[in-house]
Amino acid sequence: MKTLTGKYKLVVATKGDLLDQERKLKKSGLEHYFHHIEIMSEKAESDYQKLLQHLDIAPASFMMIGNSLKSDILPVLQLGGHAVHIPYHTTWAHETINHTVQHENFVELTTIRDLLQHLPA
């Protein structure tokens, strides 16, 4: 996180119960690294569009890193952003998709440790 702080505007965009997500973030000890924390009720293309407008970030300058192809990756790619999928060993049935993602702004990694080599200079 220290490598990224100051060089990039780090944002948490998560979905779920507000109090539960706030508790998890506080417990992680990572909240001070983030420029903005957005706890969303849905993570659709329109929700990401609102977030990017609020933060004054062009979609082409935005990179989403997430474990859900359906709610983290596809909506961001549809907006023209970049997306990095890091699968988790279990996926909630609601978050599964039945096709392979192929997009020039998409990459899939096995571990977050590999992320640095995929970030813009």
Domain extent, residue 70, equals 11-118
User: Quick check: is 24 in a domain?
Assistant: yes
Q: What is the DSSP letter of 71?
A: I
* pLDDT for the residue numbered 100: 79
Question: Is 80 contained in some domain?
Answer: yes
Full-model pTM? 0.87
Q: How many domains does the chain divide into? A: 1
Cα gap 24→30, rounded to integer Å: 10
What ranges in 64-106 are assigned the alpha helix state H?
74-79
Residue 2, in any domain of the structure:
no
- Report the side by side order of strands in the sheet with 106-108: 63-66, 82-85, 106-108
Q: What is the pLDDT of residues 7-18, one digit of tens each?
A: 899 999 999 899
Domain assignment present for 4:
no
C-alpha–C-alpha distance, residues 91 and 111, integer Å: 16
Q: Does residue 55 lie within any of the structural domains?
A: yes
**pLDDT for the residue 90:** 65
- List, for the chain, all residue ranges whose pLDDT scores fall below the cut of 50: none
Domain at 89, CATH number = 3.40.50.1000
Determine, yes or no, domain membership for 3. no
